Chain A
Amino acid sequence: MNRRAVRAITRKDIISIASNIQVWLPMLIIPLIFSVVYPIGLAFVIRAAGNEISGDFGEILDKLEKLPLLSSGSLRRTLDSLVTDQQRAAYLMFNYLMSPFFLMIPLMAASTISVDSFVGEKERGTLEGLLLSPVDMQSMFIAKVLASLVPAVTVSLLSFVLLAVCANAFAWPIFGRLFFPNISWAPLILLVMPAVSLLAVLINVFVSVRVSTFQAGYQMTGFLVLPVVALMIMQFTGLMLLDAKMLLAIGVAIIIVDYALLKIIVGRLDRAQIFESQVR
């Protein structure tokens, strides 16, 4: 692998992203909604509901608490140790229901940048110069992956910090102490989030090599949100509890998929095929 070229292409792409508001602004909107607007809104709703939560919100909370997967285990014990309905609601909503939602951040951030990686060069007419250079395809692909992965993971980590600050600050009147994150967020942030980002980037960059326009690439990779939506549904309906062990298992599984996918894609990269299909 040509490390010097990898560094150069990655740096060039990241500079391009940073200097193009049309790329980074959409990449920031979703994280800001999930890590600032949503937690602040949620904290206010819970605070406004009062100590004894009733009505529709109370019913949802009641159903969630009675899910079979929540009948025992550490989360049950934590919920039982909490004093008020407000505390239980905030704990469940932020620590339990938020996690699959949060995975949308690396997914969206990674997709916005990575779909552009090759097809963007094609649309701007610069792909030819890149393919005419003496840089092997493996290095070029790795560089493009890194150029998307680094900003996506950075945005996700910053979003997580923002989420933690907003959740604890705006739910302070409810708890009077730090309550977010709990232990299950460790494997989510350290393992699942980078693994999901890499998966999204790998698929998007590979699609980007083959499609003719950015728009087509973006539409083709829309299916990537489906597994995350499935996780949300399973979490809501109680089919699956995303606790630390489960997240660890999911993280390891995605890393294995990432590795296999990387091997397959790198083995299939063909400069002449890419050039002939993408350069006119």
Chain B
Amino acid sequence: MIRVEDVTKQYGKQRAVDALSFQVAPGEILGLIGPNGAGKTTTIRMLCGVVRPDAGQIKVAGLDVQEQGDDVRSRIGVLTETAELYSNLSGLDNLRFFAELYGVDDLGRLDELIDEFGLSVHKDKKAGAYSTGMKKRLGLARALLPRPPLLLLDEPTSGLDPAGIAMVLEEIERLNSQRGVTVVLCSHVLHQLETVCQRYVIIDRGRTVAQGTLPELADMCPGPTVVEVETDYPLEGATYGSVPAKRLPAGRIQFTVSGRDEVPGLIRRLSQDAAVYSVELKGRDLQSVYFRLLEGAGNE
């Protein structure tokens, strides 16, 4: 669905995106993550054809973003943090306006989205009087209006309450599983992404740091693997055999092995010596992996 090849974008002396390459398969939910200033927003804008790369090529749905920009934009539902709604128009009129721009003929779609995003009571109020959460929901409704096959969502849950966040994440999953919508999600709330994204691209200073599924990314992390085991083994000292070990509260022991491959052998040995109740590999959640990979990239 998306092919970004060796794309570079410079603003004055600052290089916002530097030889960035990644692909997104049709029907995939991809997390595009990185620190502030990493180049995520510029990348989203280049995917929409409103920012022109200095070098490289971007194709969306097989179309060249620069040459066939309007065709590409008609296939994309986009939500950015900076795009405002028309504050002097009602919520419904905002959707009506964008329905015209996107050539949406099914006006029942407007009420459907207004209902879906819990805005029925407020649909005739001016969008300028909406709360941050309501504006975000209306922005999402606008992005979904033309039933796009590709959604580019930049911080879709910021400003939402927990119920709103859950609703948005469920909606993304539903669109993906039921309608095969491809989604690119940018967010700093990594534990939220972990529940919906199938693959990730981590970027920093405009460059790709790593890309892959979460297990793939975790395997790329430099440094030892930490395992926490709930066991009745009576640990004395700081090692178990030759493996560094540390007693933790609540009958847990933390082992540090050089790689993930050593874990099965360690657990086999331990279960011969004592009872093993649970095993947890630490540092393989998205947030830990993200920081370790960024740290590794920063040290290069």
Contacts and interface: CB of A to CB of B under 8 A. Distances in A.
B70 A12 contact: no
A54 interface: no
B277 interface: no
Contact of A132 (B50, B66, B89): B50
A253 interface: no
A236 interface: no
A6 to B, nearest CB: 10
A171 B18 CA distance: 74
A178 interface: no
Given A4-B100, A12-B97, A134 B73 contact: yes
A70 to B, nearest CB: 51
B83 A128 contact: yes
B147 interface: no
B98 interface: yes
B215 interface: no
Contacts of A81: none
Nearest to A16: B88
B88 to A, nearest CB: 6
Nearest to B46: A272
A136 interface: yes
A126 interface: yes
B84 A125 contact: yes
Interface in B102-122: 102-103
B149 to A, nearest CB: 13
A5 B82 contact: no
Contact of B88 (A8, A20, A132, A275): A20
Contact of B78 (A20, A132, A280): A132
B69 interface: yes
Interface in A1-48: 4-5, 7-9, 12, 15-16, 19-20
B84 A134 contact: no
A8 B70 CA distance: 17
Contacts of A124: 84, 86-87
B82 A128 contact: yes
Q: Which of B51, B70, B71, B103 has the most CB of A within 10 A?
A: B70
Instruction: Sort chain A's interface into a size bin.
Output: 20 to 34
A125 B86 CA distance: 9
Contacts of B45: 275
Contacts of B84: 124-126, 128-129
B99 to A, nearest CB: 9
Nearest to B11: A276
B48 interface: yes
A118 B142 CA distance: 21
A186 B49 CA distance: 48
A99 to B, nearest CB: 37
Interface string A118-144: 000000111011111111100000000
Contact of A272 (B50, B85, B97, B98): B50
A4 B104 CA distance: 11
B50 A135 contact: no
Interface string B40-54: 000001001111100
B250 interface: no
A271 interface: yes
B80 interface: yes
A12 B99 CA distance: 13
Contacts of B51: 272, 275-276
A4 B76 CA distance: 19
B297 to A, nearest CB: 27
Contacts of B163: none
Given A128-B80, A271-B49, A271-B50, A134 B85 contact: no
A276 B48 CA distance: 13
Contacts of B100: 4-5, 7-8
A240 interface: no
Contacts of A8: 97, 100-101
B286 to A, nearest CB: 28
24 contacts: A4-B103, A9-B101, A12-B89, A16-B88, A16-B89, A19-B88, A125-B83, A129-B83, A129-B84, A129-B98, A129-B142, A132-B48, A132-B73, A132-B80, A133-B98, A133-B102, A134-B70, A134-B73, A135-B101, A272-B49, A275-B45, A275-B51, A276-B11, A276-B51
Interface of A: 4-5, 7-9, 12, 15-16, 19-20, 124-126, 128-136, 271-272, 275-276, 279-280
Interface of B: 11, 45, 48-52, 66, 69-74, 76, 78, 80, 82-89, 97-98, 100-103, 142
